[in-house]
Amino acid sequence: MLRVGVTGGIGSGKSTVSRRLGELGAHVVDADAVAREVVEPGEPALQRIRERFGQGVVRPDGSLDRAGLAALVFPDRVALDALDAITGPAISARVAELRAAAPRSGISVYDMPLLVERGLWVHEHLSVVVETDVETRVRRLVDQRGLAEQDVRHRIAAQATDEQRRAVADVVLDNSGAPEELVRAVDDLWATRLEPYAANLVHGTRSRRPERAADVVVGPRADWEPRAERVVARLAAALAPTGVVTEVSHIGSTSVPGLLAKDVIDVQVGVHRLVDADRDDVRRALADAGFVFAHGVHSDTPHPLGSDPEDWVKRFLGGCDPENNVNVHVREKGSAGWRFALLFRDWLRHEAPEKEAYAAEKRRLLALHDTTSDYVEAKEPWFEGAWQRASDWAARTGWQPR
């Protein structure tokens, strides 16, 4: 099941996006609806709210005065945190129950205003942020919902900023135009990314890069690092319960600023023991996060030539997101392959002439090879010399893996 988190500031239009996704066939869970449900009369959370904030937040009929409570908590960070501590666990439990009822082959959408603030985006395969400028949101909420302007501004100030949301957004939907423009953007997202991603998860199919080298090797892209940070965070969150991981790192050419590269994010997962990657719970965690094991035995080319190949064995996975090609290399911490992945990245980051030499070699090979597979294989001889120069640099500078 593909998990999609939809979020945005109050008045941004995220509910419009979620509603349209529901019309297209997604199973939608609305956090606001759940939040209302868990504070209905007779619910334990309502009693705790009464005890914390006083009888004044409860109406004569026993229901919660939501507007009165909002006026108390949104201007007061301590009060807001206290309310979250009361309602959060009840909301989480109910949301988990509702999402578990979604078809395993479908798309589960979680409409959650605080997806970023609570760090919940790491558990979604994709996070979709709906964005509208603050003044437009204020005007909408005052004119359409009848809220007081000061109340609206308090609520906006209590939420994440646009910059914080963008940092974790796989998709940003601009809702500054006409409503039909937002609907068209949602329809396009559904057809080009969500449905293919969901199908890949069902069939255990990883996304593939184009085989024509010229189509996949590109100049430096500003989105490589943010994309990698999201992959790293999701992998770390998925594998944390297993206890096998020592670190998760962005590696490869996309981790070196200013270097042309295949538009593929490479991530290394360091584990205490490589055999831990074969455990059932680890494989389930990786599959649930959207990463598929490649079949067969995988090993990097040993350096220097003639070294023990066992020190270069790894497990290899690919991501299922059709719009974000990801390679995951699982290596044992302390192994030669694990160390070189980190060393090569840091060496190129610090040694500009070596980065330029590698870029020149890439351009030379691109002129000689049409397919990505041939291009990748042709780089191997260059790596032998690079390994020696990087090792000399590490000895000279005292570099150690971090």
CATH number, domain of 288, equals 3.30.460.10
Q: Do 180 and 288 sit in the same domain of this protein?
A: no
pLDDT at 372 (0 to 100): 87
Share of the chain above pLDDT 90, in %: 80
Query: Rounded to an integer, what distance in angstroms lies between the CA atom of residue 66 and that of residue 331?
Result: 51
Does 16 appear as a known binding residue?
Answer: yes
Q: Do 297 and 371 sit in the same domain of this protein?
A: yes
Which region among 138-147, 184-193, 284-293, 342-351 has the lowest average model confidence (pLDDT)?
138-147
Give residue-wise pLDDT tens across range 264-311: 999 999 999 999 999 999 999 999 999 999 876 689 999 999 999 999
Q: Do 229 and 125 sit in the same domain of this protein?
A: no
Domain span at residue 110 reads: 2-203
Using 50, 70 and 90 to split pLDDT, how confident is the model at 198?
Answer: very high
Does 105 appear as a known binding residue?
Answer: no
pTM of the complete model? 0.90
Does 12 appear as a known binding residue?
Answer: yes
What's the structural domain count of the chain?
2
- For residue 211, pLDDT over 70 is answered with yes
Q: Do 64 and 182 sit in the same domain of this protein?
A: yes
Last residue of a domain, one of 152, 171, 203: 203
Q: Do 199 and 236 sit in the same domain of this protein?
A: no
Last residue of a domain, one of 203, 228, 256: 203
Does 242 appear as a known binding residue?
Answer: no
Does 13 appear as a known binding residue?
Answer: yes
CATH number, domain of 96, equals 3.40.50.300
Task: List phi, psi (to 5°) of 170.
Answer: -80, -30
Which region among 20-24, 141-145, 358-362 has the lowest average model confidence (pLDDT)?
141-145
Q: Do 37 and 185 sit in the same domain of this protein?
A: yes
Cα 378 to chain centroid, rounded: 32
Last residue of a domain, one of 151, 181, 203: 203
pLDDT at 215 (0 to 100): 78
Does 15 appear as a known binding residue?
Answer: yes
Query: Rounded to an integer, what distance in angstroms lies between the CA atom of residue 396 and that of residue 354?
Result: 15
pLDDT at 16 (0 to 100): 94
> How long a stretch of residues is the chain?
402
Give residue-wise pLDDT tens across range 78-97: 998 999 999 999 999 999 99
Residue 240 domain flag = yes
pLDDT at 297 (0 to 100): 61
Taking a C-beta distance cutoff of 8 angstroms, is the pair 190, 21 a contact? yes
Residue 210 domain flag = no
Query: Rounded to an integer, what distance in angstroms lies between the CA atom of residue 45 and that of residue 54?
Result: 13
